């Protein structure tokens, strides 16, 4: 008997199994997959605090500058199809993965879960993600200088539902103007579909989202980038009154369980967390103590807590544009 061969085969089998469920990251607006100050930092934190975890950061183009530009310019439906294919071909993710989505990246990961059945997301955590849409163009703050953001804002002001803008500007594809809802339903090519807001309900989207072990929604209390900030919890402007917010549980989409959120909520699989900070100001210790337990292969519940922690440990997970 060839004991050496048996040993090698067994060793390969052991090494082929992940020690913990893999984690997939999708960065936000103005960032890229691998910046050492943002997604690279998150990746390192996960690897340091959850040893043996494989971390994959989604990258849409071969270059860093191209990956940043893809966050402003492109067709979301095509991008998500591409991500579906890329993750399907990654054998290390074949048994499923947990996912962290930052800003718009969280919305895109939710769309991935609805549209792509394999490999599945087990637990999805989103940070300041515009799940219910945005009612105004995202700002270009100090962390996002450059022409791309200014161009995006100009195009949204010019007409978010015009044919060119709706097909080419990423932010237009989740722009929901409370004063132009008819145009939103008629011309938006992305958000009303994945939120099942149209008469033709896609039951697959609801069935897919219901399969999540946990959906964790993180909102920033001082968020001025995402308007309304409550969109991170699926809240949105009530009617045409920008001063009024309709919460998730008040919404028709929740009551009719259009994408499965009520089912998740009633099964205690929907979590709401709040960070007392501006958009994407995420302290390391919040990630380590509040989020990483969700990524470990064990149950963890932290519903409804507000994190105010050590302000000196806050970190902006956002890269500068070229």
Mean pLDDT of 55-76: 91
Active-site residue flag, 27: no
Active-site residue flag, 279: yes
pLDDT surpassing 80 at residue 166: yes
Residue 245 lies inside a defined structural domain of this protein: yes
**Where residue 4 falls among pLDDT bands split at 50, 70, 90?**
low
Residue 154 lies inside a defined structural domain of this protein: no
What is the distance between the alpha carbons of residues 282 and 103, in angstroms, rounded to a whole number? 12
Q: At what angle do helices 104-115 and 76-88 cross, to 10 degrees?
A: 70
Residue 235 lies inside a defined structural domain of this protein: yes
**Where residue 72 falls among pLDDT bands split at 50, 70, 90?**
confident
Residue 278 lies inside a defined structural domain of this protein: yes
- Give Cα separations from 307 to 192, 228, 232, 317 (angstroms): 32, 20, 16, 17
Active-site residue flag, 297: no
Residue 150 lies inside a defined structural domain of this protein: no
Residue 171 lies inside a defined structural domain of this protein: no
Find the catalytic residue in 56, 131, 187, 279.
Answer: 279
Q: Where are the alpha helices (DSSP H) in 89-146?
A: 104-115
Residue 138 lies inside a defined structural domain of this protein: no
Model confidence pLDDT, tens digit, residues 169-214: 999 999 999 999 999 999 999 999 999 999 999 999 999 999 999 9
Find the catalytic residue in 31, 177, 223, 230.
Answer: 223
The two tokens of residue 270 are 């929907």
Instruction: Determine the distance from the C-alpha atom of residue 57 to the mean position of all C-alpha atoms in its chain, rounded to a whole number.
Output: 12
Which residue range is the domain that position 275 belongs to? 21-133+203-313
- Give Cα separations from 319 to 36, 108, 216, 284 (angstroms): 9, 19, 24, 16
pTM: 0.86
Q: How many domains does the chain have?
A: 1
What is the distance between the alpha carbons of residues 94 and 22, in angstroms, rounded to a whole number? 10
CB 139 within 8 A of CB 225: yes
Find the catalytic residue in 38, 56, 67, 103.
Answer: 103
Residue 167 lies inside a defined structural domain of this protein: no
What is the distance between the alpha carbons of residues 143 and 24, in angstroms, rounded to a whole number? 24
Q: What CATH number is attached to the domain comprising 223?
A: 3.40.50.1820
């Amino acid at each position: 008997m060839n004991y050496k061969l048996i040993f090698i085969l067994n060793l390969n089998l052991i090494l082929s199994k992940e020690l913990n469920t893999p984690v997939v990251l999708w960065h936000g607006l103005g960032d890229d997959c691998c910046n050492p100050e943002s997604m690279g930092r998150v990746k390192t934190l996960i690897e340091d605090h959850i040893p043996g975890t494989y971390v994959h950061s989604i990258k849409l183009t071969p270059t860093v500058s191209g990956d940043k530009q893809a966050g402003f310019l492109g067709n979301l439906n095509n991008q998500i199809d591409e991500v579906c294919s890329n993750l399907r071909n990654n054998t290390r993710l074949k048994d499923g993965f947990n996912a962290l989505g930052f800003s718009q990246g969280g919305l895109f990961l939710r769309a991935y879960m609805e549209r792509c059945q394999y490999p599945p997301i087990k637990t999805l955590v989103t940070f300041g993600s515009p799940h219910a849409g945005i009612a105004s163009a995202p700002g270009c703050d100090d962390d996002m200088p450059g022409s791309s953001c200014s161009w995006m804002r100009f195009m949204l002001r010019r007409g978010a539902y015009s044919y060119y803008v709706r097909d080419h500007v990423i932010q237009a594809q989740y722009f929901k103007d409370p004063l132009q809802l008819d145009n939103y339903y008629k011309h938006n090519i992305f958000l009303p579909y994945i939120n099942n807001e149209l008469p033709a309900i896609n039951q697959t989207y609801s069935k897919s989202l219901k399969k999540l072990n946990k959906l964790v929604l993180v909102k920033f209390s001082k968020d001025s980038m995402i308007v309304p900030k409550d969109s991170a919890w699926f809240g949105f402007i009530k009617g045409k009154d920008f001063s009024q917010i309709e919460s998730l549980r008040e919404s028709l989409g929740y009551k009719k369980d259009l994408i499965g959120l009520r089912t998740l909520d009633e099964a205690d699989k929907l979590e709401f967390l709040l960070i007392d900070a501006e958009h994407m100001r995420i302290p390391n210790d919040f990630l380590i103590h509040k989020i990483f337990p969700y990524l470990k292969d064990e149950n963890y519940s932290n519903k409804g807590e507000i994190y105010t922690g050590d302000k000196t440990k806050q970190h902006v997970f956002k890269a500068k544009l070229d």
